[in-house]
């Protein structure tokens, strides 16, 4: 996923923007799209706010056939949390009986910087939809995810510029027996990302999420430490895809990864947005590509010299 554009597809469905009050738009078949409901983040008097728009949506479509919802911007998302959105969605669970997927916070930087999006405790939403198969959330400010049990969830994506250790521990401590795909954007400490590889212990040990096949630990300022922890993690042996992209990965982290357990069983390894030398890139390719592993080493970064001998390196998404 990217924060540069709004979602074009979600849960295998094209995203369709539910039209505004004055729009004359022919609506698609209810179950053929993921419905995006969005209000202006910087709203003016007269703008339709998210709550009323959602109520109009419920009165307009065949709610029993809605498969996927994308929550875009809401009024003053940099000041108002997603708590009211979560409450509204929970209140509609007896109508949205076919809902399989929700993405909460599909905003670009023009709508609201990722670090400014104020979230809330999202686990009551999961509890209200036990048949939910996919859940994504963008924004880490005030995000809460205490450990839960959910037997249907297959994909969980948490995109932040800084993911707090408490949230990481809540996620990896959850009982999610059907989870196949987990993607966490760990971010930087400047935006609250204070987690360490130790917080990921149940996940890396393979004791959590028995169905997991695709793992992303992305956008981390401590990507070298994450890579070193992954190198010896039992969970890797049963993965098909491993994503360590978007972070500050240097030759030290890549070397630790290659010197650890074999990765030749992977179908795909994503190391894009990296700080690797060309020699290390060649070493990665030589170690994996002959075994059929697709390796993404795109978006090479150089770093910035601050003039005092230090080099500044940045994650792909922070603010």
| 3-state SS class at 88 | helix
Residue that is written with structure tokens 């409450």 in the block: 87
| 3-state SS class at 237 | helix
pLDDT recorded at residue 23: 76
- Residue 17: beta bridge partners? 36
Query: 62-93, pLDDT tens digit by residue?
Result: 999 999 999 999 999 999 999 999 999 999 99
Q: How far apart are CA 142 and CA 80, in angstroms?
A: 11
**Are the CB atoms for 99 and 69 separated by under 8 Å?**
yes
pLDDT recorded at residue 279: 98
Q: How far apart are CA 250 and CA 248, in angstroms?
A: 6
H helix intervals, 232-316: 251-259, 278-288
**Are the CB atoms for 237 and 208 separated by under 8 Å?**
no
pLDDT recorded at residue 282: 98
Q: State pTM to two decimals.
A: 0.96
pLDDT at 175 over 90: yes
One DSSP character per residue, 182-246 reads EEEEEE-GGGT----GGGGHHHHTT-S-TT--EEEEEEETTHHHHHHHHHT-GGGGG-SEEE--S
CA 236 to chain centre: 20
Ramachandran sector of residue 307 (left: φ over 0; alpha: ψ -120 to 50; beta: rest)? left
Which carries the bigger pLDDT value, residue 157 or residue 42? 157
pLDDT recorded at residue 317: 94
Query: 6-22, pLDDT tens digit by residue?
Result: 999 999 999 999 998 87
pLDDT at 198 over 70: yes
């Amino acid at each position: 996923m990217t924060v540069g554009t709004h979602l074009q597809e979600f849960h295998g469905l094209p995203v369709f923007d539910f039209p505004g009050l004055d729009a004359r738009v022919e609506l698609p078949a209810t179950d053929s799209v993921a419905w995006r409901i969005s209000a202006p983040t910087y709203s003016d008097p007269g703008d339709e706010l998210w709550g009323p728009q959602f109520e109009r949506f419920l009165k307009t479509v065949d709610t029993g056939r809605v498969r996927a919802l994308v929550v875009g911007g809401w009024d003053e998302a940099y000041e108002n949390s997603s708590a009211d959105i979560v409450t509204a969605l929970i209140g509609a669970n007896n109508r949205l009986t076919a809902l399989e997927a929700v993405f909460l916070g599909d905003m670009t930087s023009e709508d609201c910087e990722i670090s400014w999006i104020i979230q809330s405790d999202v686990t009551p939403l999961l509890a209200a939809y036990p048949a939910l198969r996919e859940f994504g959330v963008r924004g880490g400010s005030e995000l809460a995810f205490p450990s839960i049990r959910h037997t249907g969830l297959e994909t969980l994506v948490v995109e932040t510029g800084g993911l707090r250790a408490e949230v990481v521990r809540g996620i990896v401590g959850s009982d999610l027996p059907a989870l196949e795909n987990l993607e966490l954007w760990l971010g930087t400490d400047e935006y609250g990302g204070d987690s360490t590889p130790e917080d990921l212990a149940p996940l890396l040990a393979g004791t959590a999420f028995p169905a997991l096949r695709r793992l992303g630990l992305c956008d981390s300022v401590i990507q070298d430490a994450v890579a070193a922890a992954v190198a010896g993690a039992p969970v890797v042996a049963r993965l098909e895809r491993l994503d360590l992209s978007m972070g500050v990965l240097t030759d030290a982290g890549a070397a630790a990864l290659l010197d650890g357990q074999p990765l030749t069983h992977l179908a795909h390894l994503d190391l894009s947005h990296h700080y690797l030398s060309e020699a290390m890139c060649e070493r990665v390719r030589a170690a994996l590509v002959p075994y059929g592993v697709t390796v993404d080493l795109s978006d090479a970064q150089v770093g910035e010299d601050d003039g005092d001998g230090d080099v500044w390196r940045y994650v792909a998404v922070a603010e």
